[in-house]
Structures are given as C-alpha cells and as structure tokens.
Amino acid sequence: MKSYKLYIDGEWVNSSSGKSFDTENPYTGEVWAKISRGNAEDVNRAVKAASSAFQGDWGQTKPTERGKLLNRLAEVIEKNAEILGEIEVRDNGKLIAEMGGQTKYLAEWYRYYGGLADKVEGSVIPSDKPGIFNFTRYEALGVIGMITPWNSPLLLLAWKLAPALAAGNTAVIKPSEFTSASTLEFMNLIEEVGFPKGVVNTVTGFGLEVGAPLVDHPNVDKIAFTGSDVSGQKIYEAAAKKIMPVTLELGGKSPNIVFEDADFEAAVMGAISGIFAATGQTCIAGSRLLVQKSIHDKFVERLINVAKEAKIGDPMSTETHVGPVTTQPQYQKIIDYIEIAKKENAKCVLGGRPYTGPGARGRQFIEPTIFTGVTNEMRIAQEEVFGPVLSVIPFDTEEDAVRIGNDIDFGLAAGVWTNDIGRALRMSEKLRAGTIWVNTYRAVSFTSPFGGYKRSGEGRESGKDAIKEFLQVKSVWIAQQTSTENPFIMR
C-alpha cells in the first residue's frame, strides 16, 4: 500500500506524532493509501520553513525568475496530467472523462500567473504636495496558508498557489483529509521544477489538528480557503483575532433560470450539467432550477428523460456520467436532505434513493434526483446539498425570477437561459452572484474572476486582479529637498 509523508522544507518527513490515517477509493470502498496525520508541531515546522524561504532567497528572486519557474511547472504538469488525473479519480471518485482534460488545464493557471509575475507595477502618483515625490510598490504578503476541500483538490489549489507564488509569497498547504494524495503527488512536481526549499510545503491531516493551527499561527500572513460556509466562518473569526486577510470560497445554492423563450434542448442540457456533473459535488451547482410556468411541465418531463439515461458507475470508465459520492459523511448528508425534502412535501419525480444498479460498487452511489413542487422557503431550496439533487421551482415573470433567484443567503453563480438579449443583460445586472452564465453553465477559466457574493465568500480567484489578493501596496514619499516648515502641522 502506498504511504505518503509530509512535504516540509524540500524534504519528505514523518509527522511528529508518527501517526497516519487511511484514504479510500470511494468507488471500491477500499483503503488504497496511508496519509501522515500532521499536527500543530508539523504546522510550526512548515511555517518556519516557509518564513525562512520568504525572508531568504525566495524573497530576493527576480519576478521574471518566478515566472520562469511557474512556466516550467506548467510544462511538468502537462507531462504528468494523466497520472494526476488518475489519482483524483482513485481518491475522489471524479470522472476520468472530466479529469483527463482538467489536470492538463491546471497548467494554464501556472502559465498565466507566471506571465503576470513581472508585470506587477506600482505607479508614480501625481502628488499635490510640492517637492515630494510619491510612488507605490506592491509587496508580497509572506506566508500563505492554503486550505482546500475534497471536491477538486488540484484545481482549487492552482487558483491559490499560482497567483501567490507569482506575487512572491511562500505556501503551506493543507489539503482535505479525504483527498490528500493528489496534492502530495503534486509536491513531486514542485521538487522536479526546482523551487527553492521551503517555498511550497504540504502538511496533511484534519481540520482541527492542522487547519486551525495554520490559521492561528502568528507567522501566517493570509489564508486562502475553499470549503463549507461553516468552516469558512470559523476561519474568518480566527483571522479577525490576528487582523489577517483571507480569501474564502464557500459554495452556494445557485439559481439556474430557464425562460420560455430559451433554446429548449440547450437549456435542458444546461440544467443537467448544472446539477449532475461531478455528481453534484461542486460549489457552482445549479441546484435551484427556476423554470417559467408556461414550459414547466414539458421541461421537467424532458429533464427526467435525459437524467434517466445518465450512466452511473465506474469513474475510470470514459462512458460514465455520474460517479460515486466522494465521502461517507457526504453520502449521509445527501440521503438526509432527500428525506428532508420528502418531509417538506416536495415531489420526488426522479431517483431519491441509493443507487444499487449495474456499475455500483461500495456504498456511495445516489440516483440522480429531481424534486418538483419546491418553494423557495423550503430547506431543500435554501441549503447546499452538494450532491445530485435538484430542486425545481416554477416562476411567472422576469421579476419573479429575479426575486426568487436572489432570495438566498448564497451568491456564487447563476445561470440564465433566454434568447432575448435585453433580458439577458437585465438578468446579469440584477442577479446578486459573482458569476452569471447566459445560455451556458460551468464555464470557468484562469482569465476570469471567480468568487462569491454574500455568504458564498470573500475575495476573488483567477483573472489578472487576483494576484493583488496576494500583495499589499506601499506608498513611498520622498522629499526632493529637505525643509524646516512648521513640524506641528500635517504636510
């Protein structure tokens, strides 16, 4: 059986407790690797290494050099994309059909921010103070703690690590206890590329044993986190005690809104992609499907017929559409929400049970599930399920769609299906979410800012401004000649 150590200061080391924990393949239910169980002492070691690297050579590395390293990393990622993809499938149950492309695509984040590394420019400010020259410079923050969830470990790491390194920071990474292996394999690539010791470190373990001490550590300068809103809030509170900046990406309950004038078949596919892709385990899931009343019944009928055909089973098969749920607790949570929906008198028109048909192994399969007759006040409409469970909510007018769409604590994304350009523009303006998709769904790129309104988070990832999330600006004033003006008044 494979056994992974911690990666600290350029070395593979045992956890100070000597303990480890199992990681499972969610498809087979088998334990396939042992992961080191880190603790606060390991966090200390990693932060010390990252601080020394930041204060030492890495802090002095030319931006162009950092860019070259990131570009080299992009190449190495492409070369190893297949292996990384297979590990995501084995440890997480992600589809090989999706991972084949996604692990290769990761390289683009490193390339994009590698290119940006030497284009971070301060400015000369036309000062109103005679005789004083004023300019700004952008400086790295220092040590960034990166805490990632189980649903897309390497992708969500790239969104943090690429801009943070481009900006000149160092990193201590804490992947999810359910899916640590791909991040650890990724450390081999970091090593191969030749990043100096201590620039990138990974400490595996549990949220309270590794994540919390990382957040609390006095020498950690920022936390970049993706995960549940509950953990996100705890991290925000802990960060407040240190007055430490954070970026938080906390999931959602996104409305996917279908108008009667939409391209019917494209909208059906968009609704399917919004909720059943990745077994519904995505923060951007279009889990509230708002359908205009005039087409509601016809739309639901077609949706059921398409969803029924989804092939459930082995994530390593390129034919599979819906794989296993990644973790046992997540499986239970989905089952519980299906019960909640039934008790709320939502009508289950598809699925609603564990899947035990052909292709199912282990215990973690759930049938693609659709509830109709959902009202927006129900828990099944308001709370993130993070599984293949869709709530269909009918609406009358455009105003209703906006009101229902926004009547939620979250604000990560929204989909709009219409052929009316005016309506598309009005909806894009009125929906309160960080990403709006019109006549498409799940489009995400390194070029475009991503993040949440409201309870979906704080800060943005991806796009050129995201590098600023890992920098702080300094204003420098230089007098052109010394003066002996009244020292008791402001200059």
List residues with catalytic annotation: 249, 283
Bridge-based pairing of strands 124-125 and 31-36 is unpaired
**Binding flag, residue 234, ligand NAI (CB under 6 A):** yes
Residue count (the chain): 491
What are the Cα distances from residue 431, in Å, to 295, 404, 460?
A: 22, 10, 18
* Given 91, 209, 229, 367, the residue binding Mg ion (CB under 5 A): 91
Laid out side by side, the sheet with 222-226 consists of 11-13, 6-8, 200-202, 170-174, 143-147, 222-226, 246-249, 457-458
CB of 281 to Mg ion, least distance (A): 13
Exposure string of 223-253, with b = 16+ CB inside 10 Å and e = fewer, is: bbbbbbbebbebbbebbeeeebbbbbbbbbb
CB of 228 to Mg ion, least distance (A): 18
* Given 168, 251, 280, 451, the residue binding ligand NAI (CB under 6 A): 251
Q: Are 449 and 468 in contact (CB under 8 A)?
A: no
- By rule CB under 6 A, what count of residues binds ligand NAI? 28
* Given 77, 235, 244, 246, the residue binding ligand NAI (CB under 6 A): 235
Positions 278 through 307 that interact with ligand NAI (CB under 6 A): 283
Pick one of Mg ion, ligand NAI, none as the site partner of residue 91 (Cβ within 5 to 8 A by kind): Mg ion
Closest CA to 410 of 434, 390, 429, 427: 434
Looking at beta carbons only, is 281 or 320 nearer to ligand NAI? 281
Both tokens of 227, joined, read: 């995960």
Query: Helix, strand, coil proportions of the chain in percent (round to 5)?
Result: 40, 20, 35
Ramachandran angles phi, psi of 225, nearest 5°? -130, 140
**Binding flag, residue 204, Mg ion (CB under 5 A):** no
Positions 377 through 406 that interact with ligand NAI (CB under 6 A): 384, 386
**Binding flag, residue 211, ligand NAI (CB under 6 A):** yes
Positions 130 through 189 that interact with ligand NAI (CB under 6 A): 147-151, 174, 176-177
Ramachandran angles phi, psi of 68, nearest 5°? -65, -45
CB of 431 to ligand NAI, least distance (A): 19
Q: Which residue is nearest to ligand NAI (CB)?
A: 211
Looking at beta carbons only, is 24 or 98 nearer to Mg ion? 24
Positions 378 through 417 that interact with Mg ion (CB under 5 A): none
* Given 81, 181, 187, 215, the residue binding ligand NAI (CB under 6 A): 215
- H or E segment to which residue 322 belongs: none
Pick one of Mg ion, ligand NAI, none as the site partner of residue 351 (Cβ within 5 to 8 A by kind): none
Positions 312 through 351 that interact with ligand NAI (CB under 6 A): 330, 333
Three-state DSSP state, 436: strand
**Binding flag, residue 23, Mg ion (CB under 5 A):** yes
Binding string to Mg ion for residues 40 to 79, with x set by CB under 5 A, is what? Answer: ----------------------------------------
Both tokens of 431, joined, read: 């929906």
Q: Which residue has the tokens 């960080």?
A: 434
Pick one of Mg ion, ligand NAI, none as the site partner of residue 330 (Cβ within 5 to 8 A by kind): ligand NAI
Segments in 150-279 forming alpha helices (H): 153-166, 181-193, 212-216, 229-242, 264-276
Laid out side by side, the sheet with 471-479 consists of 124-125, 132-140, 471-479
Looking at beta carbons only, is 65 or 336 nearer to ligand NAI? 336
Which residues would be at the binding site for ligand NAI (CB under 6 A)? 147-151, 174, 176-177, 206-208, 211-212, 215, 226-228, 231, 234-235, 249-251, 283, 330, 333, 384, 386
Which residues would be at the binding site for Mg ion (CB under 5 A)? 23-24, 91
